[in-house]
Chains A and B, each alone.
Chain A
Amino acid sequence: MEFVFGYYNYLAVVFLMMLGFYIVVSRGNLVKTLVGLSVFQTSVFIFYISLARIRGGTAPIYVEGETLYSSPLPQVLILTAIVVSISTTALGLAIVVRIREAYGTIEEDEIDGIEYAEEVGVPDIRWS
């Protein structure tokens, strides 16, 4: 029990991480895959932020009478990582929009079928 309560932040992080990763691997819909990727990345942000928290510590702003502060560095790092993550998602969604325009679908198996037919010259009958 102590393990569960003592490390609950890490457990939450691992749960979210696995959840996001599972969505990325298992979903065939391109937008859902990106959602999974976002969850996966966000779990890492929570990991960093919770790492910096000290019990009883305040925000890292100098105040008279306070001696215990949370570390500001991970928060700064994650600020950068959030920007990266947003750019990734935005770029991914932009590519999905163009895939929709070019193929008429955002389902991975349908796109694979279209590409297979284009490459080999016969319709894809592997899965039907």
Chain B
Amino acid sequence: MTEHLPVLQVAIPMMAALVSALIPRGRVAWGWAVATCWIGLGISMLILGQVLAGGTISYELGGWAAPWGIEYRIDHVNAFVLLIVSGIGAVVAPFARLSLEREIEPSHLPRFYAAFLLCLSGLLGITVTGDVFNLFVFLEVSSLTSYTMVAMGQDRRALTAAYRYLIMGSIGATFIVIGVGLLYAMTGTLNMADLAERIPEVASTRTVPVAFGFLTVGISLKLALFPLHLWLPNAYTYSPSAATAFLAATATKVAVYVLLRFFFTVFGASFSFDVMQLDYVLLPLGLVAIFSMSMVAIFQENVKRMLAYSSLAQIGYMVLGISFASVTGLTAGILHLFNHAVIKCALFLAVGSVFYRIGSVRISAMAGVGRQMPWTMGAFVLGGFSLIGVPLTVGFISKWYLILAAIERGWWPVAGLILITSLMAVVYIWRVVESAYFQPAPGGRESAREAPLALLLPTWALIIANLYFGIDASLTTGVAIEAARALLGVGS
């Protein structure tokens, strides 16, 4: 049984999604989805345990040996990403019931959960697979279902957001297929480990750099790297709260993982950074993303959109960490992958709880909410601290490693910019706090109460994770350092 965990991780949510679509009642479908997500979390914990104890797991799908068959290959990097994705799924699913009952048509609920589970399955599939074409298929499974979830938002702008997301996402995916096709033409294989062995022989041809370019652009579209981010703000703003929290915490993170996998495992760090000089592309784009997106976030009226722009800035931090191409830099990037998932999911859940009570996420409409919903806004403030990078929160840990990596390279201006942009986060979080705590509640909303426990518990679970992994970061940093070493091919 335990040797089949890699495939069960993907297959269980996929099968459960089919069942969910057939369930007529929203509540039953919800219970089904929650159970599936919790089983998924259990499986990914077991897998992480196996990897930590015994090293890389290789699973042959259907018994066909790699490189002919599809191989699922799990090392420290993807075991960690698996845990992030299924953990976020397990937290968001319980939150979803009340939140969604308010935000989407009751008759759509079972299908929403089906899309949610399929998306989860797709994201987990991207993470476990060791086959580049299989990766594309799972990427499309998760993307198509994300478009569906975004389009289920109440506001009609959700539809245009979903449409734009669909066009940009499909272009990104097609770019990835072109890149994969070119690699296949040169090497005759689709298995990642096999590709990594064969690419050096043909690396001097023109085809391989072209494939590299297509893959970089395609994946950057998926992870919303500046300037390919235009689909993201509206998609996060207008989709249902639960979908936003889930997608913000997982979809872009998995794309960052794909980037890592291609640059470091398939092409190898020396090809990516010495030959293709990727750092000259990623470093400026990351810095511009951090600075400009934080700036834009400051001027947003809609809290969800503000957090969406903040997510784009945080993606900049991850890409910045990757662009250092050092063990510390990669550790920072991978740590921030986990930390930002926990931070942003908590913040979006808190905002979703506010929406549940007051029906708006505008900063002006949130006036006085701090006194009416102390627990919800308390969670928002703590999550905000973490986003800023206050000590004793996870945000601090990732900023710490990022600055260490910058100093290690001797790039003081970069380290300074990281600190300055953290202060910009203070500004946009403060705008919400100011409205929520220091403004009187507008008339007609005196009776707004604390959010129900079913919404508070998932939010606070993540806030506690924020604090716990901020105080005792030994598990997360340990795995991240191992993962960074494995990616760079440096022995531990």
* A is bound by B: yes
Q: Decide: A51 and B148 in contact? CB cutoff 8 A.
A: no
A51-B185, A98-B151 known; A37+B171 contact, CB < 8 A? yes
Specify which chain B residues have a CB less than 8 angstroms from the CB of A115 in the assembled complex: 157, 160
CB of A76, distance to nearest CB on chain B (Å)? 10
Specify which chain B residues have a CB less than 8 angstroms from the CB of A84 in the assembled complex: 137, 140, 144, 173
| Bound CA–CA A55/B147 (angstroms) | 42
| B148 (CB) vs chain A CBs: closest residue | A91
Specify which chain A residues have a CB less than 8 angstroms from the CB of B157 in the assembled complex: 115, 118
A95 at the interface (CB under 8 A from B): yes
* Contacts of B156-185 to chain A: CB distance below 8 A: 156-157, 159-160, 162-163, 166-167, 170-171, 173-174, 177-178, 181, 184-185
Q: Decide: A77 and B163 in contact? CB cutoff 8 A.
A: no
A80 at the interface (CB under 8 A from B): yes
A48-B181, A91-B166 known; A98+B174 contact, CB < 8 A? no
Q: Of A41, A74, A80, A91, which one neighbours B174 at CB under 8 angstroms?
A: A41
Q: Decide: B144 and A44 in contact? CB cutoff 8 A.
A: no
Q: Decide: B171 and A44 in contact? CB cutoff 8 A.
A: no
Q: Decide: A95 and B133 in contact? CB cutoff 8 A.
A: no
| Bound CA–CA A30/B361 (angstroms) | 29
Q: Of B140, B156, B167, which one neighbours A37 at CB under 8 angstroms?
A: B167
Specify which chain A residues have a CB less than 8 angstroms from the CB of B185 in the assembled complex: 51
Mark each residue of chain B from 244 to 262: 1 if its CB lies under 8 Å from any CB of chain A, else 0. Answer: 0000000000000000000
Q: Decide: A102 and B163 in contact? CB cutoff 8 A.
A: no
The size of the chain B interface, using a CB distance under 8 A, is 25
Q: Decide: A95 and B174 in contact? CB cutoff 8 A.
A: no
CB of A110, distance to nearest CB on chain B (Å)? 11
| B156 (CB) vs chain A CBs: closest residue | A102
Specify which chain A residues have a CB less than 8 angstroms from the CB of B167 in the assembled complex: 24, 33-34, 37, 92
| Bound CA–CA A80/B190 (angstroms) | 15
Specify which chain A residues have a CB less than 8 angstroms from the CB of B184 in the assembled complex: 51, 74
Q: Decide: B174 and A44 in contact? CB cutoff 8 A.
A: yes
A103 at the interface (CB under 8 A from B): yes
| Bound CA–CA A51/B185 (angstroms) | 7
Specify which chain A residues have a CB less than 8 angstroms from the CB of B136 in the assembled complex: 81
CB of B233, distance to nearest CB on chain A (Å)? 12
Q: Decide: A95 and B166 in contact? CB cutoff 8 A.
A: yes
Q: Decide: A99 and B166 in contact? CB cutoff 8 A.
A: no
A88-B140, A91-B147, A91-B166 known; A44+B178 contact, CB < 8 A? yes
Specify which chain B residues have a CB less than 8 angstroms from the CB of A99 in the assembled complex: 156, 159-160, 163
A77-B133, A84-B137, A88-B166 known; A95+B159 contact, CB < 8 A? yes
Specify which chain A residues have a CB less than 8 angstroms from the CB of B170 in the assembled complex: 37, 41, 88, 92
* Contacts of A73-91 to chain B: CB distance below 8 A: 74, 77, 80-81, 84, 87-88, 91
A19 at the interface (CB under 8 A from B): no
A47 at the interface (CB under 8 A from B): yes
| Bound CA–CA A74/B178 (angstroms) | 12
- Interface of B, secondary structure class, is helix
* Contacts of B207-249 to chain A: CB distance below 8 A: none
CB of A126, distance to nearest CB on chain B (Å)? 17
Mark each residue of chain B from 126 to 142: 1 if its CB lies under 8 Å from any CB of chain A, else 0. Answer: 00000001001100100
Q: Decide: A47 and B178 in contact? CB cutoff 8 A.
A: yes
Mark each residue of chain A from 8 to 33: 1 if its CB lies under 8 Å from any CB of chain B, else 0. Answer: 00000000010001001000001001
Mark each residue of chain A from 60 to 84: 1 if its CB lies under 8 Å from any CB of chain B, else 0. Answer: 0000000000000010010011001
Identify which of A44, A48, A95, A103 gathers the most chain B CB atoms within 10 Å of its CB.
Answer: A95
Specify which chain B residues have a CB less than 8 angstroms from the CB of A40 in the assembled complex: 171, 174
| A98 (CB) vs chain B CBs: closest residue | B159
Specify which chain B residues have a CB less than 8 angstroms from the CB of A111 in the assembled complex: 160
* Contacts of B103-161 to chain A: CB distance below 8 A: 133, 136-137, 140, 144, 147-148, 151, 156-157, 159-160
CB of B482, distance to nearest CB on chain A (Å)? 33
CB of A13, distance to nearest CB on chain B (Å)? 9
| Bound CA–CA A77/B157 (angstroms) | 35
Q: Of A21, A51, A96, which one neighbours B163 at CB under 8 angstroms?
A: A96
Q: Decide: A92 and B166 in contact? CB cutoff 8 A.
A: yes
Q: Decide: B181 and A47 in contact? CB cutoff 8 A.
A: yes
| Bound CA–CA A76/B200 (angstroms) | 27
| Bound CA–CA A118/B112 (angstroms) | 27
Q: Of B147, B166, B181, which one neighbours A51 at CB under 8 angstroms?
A: B181
Q: Decide: A95 and B171 in contact? CB cutoff 8 A.
A: no
Specify which chain B residues have a CB less than 8 angstroms from the CB of A102 in the assembled complex: 156, 159
CB of B149, distance to nearest CB on chain A (Å)? 12
| Bound CA–CA A103/B163 (angstroms) | 13
* Contacts of B367-396 to chain A: CB distance below 8 A: none
Q: Decide: A91 and B144 in contact? CB cutoff 8 A.
A: yes
| Bound CA–CA A33/B166 (angstroms) | 11
Beyond A37-B167, A74-B181, 13 additional contacts (C-beta under 8 Å) are: A17-B178, A44-B174, A44-B177, A80-B133, A80-B137, A81-B136, A84-B173, A88-B170, A92-B163, A99-B160, A102-B159, A103-B160, A111-B160
Residues of B within 8 A of A (CB): 133, 136-137, 140, 144, 147-148, 151, 156-157, 159-160, 162-163, 166-167, 170-171, 173-174, 177-178, 181, 184-185
Residues of A within 8 A of B (CB): 17, 21, 24, 30, 33-34, 37, 40-41, 44, 47-48, 51, 74, 77, 80-81, 84, 87-88, 91-92, 95-96, 98-99, 102-103, 111, 115, 118
Provide a sorted-by-A list of 17 A–B residue pairs whose CB atoms are within 8 angstroms. Answer: A33-B167, A34-B167, A40-B171, A44-B177, A51-B181, A74-B181, A80-B137, A87-B140, A91-B144, A91-B147, A92-B167, A92-B170, A95-B166, A98-B151, A102-B159, A111-B160, A115-B160
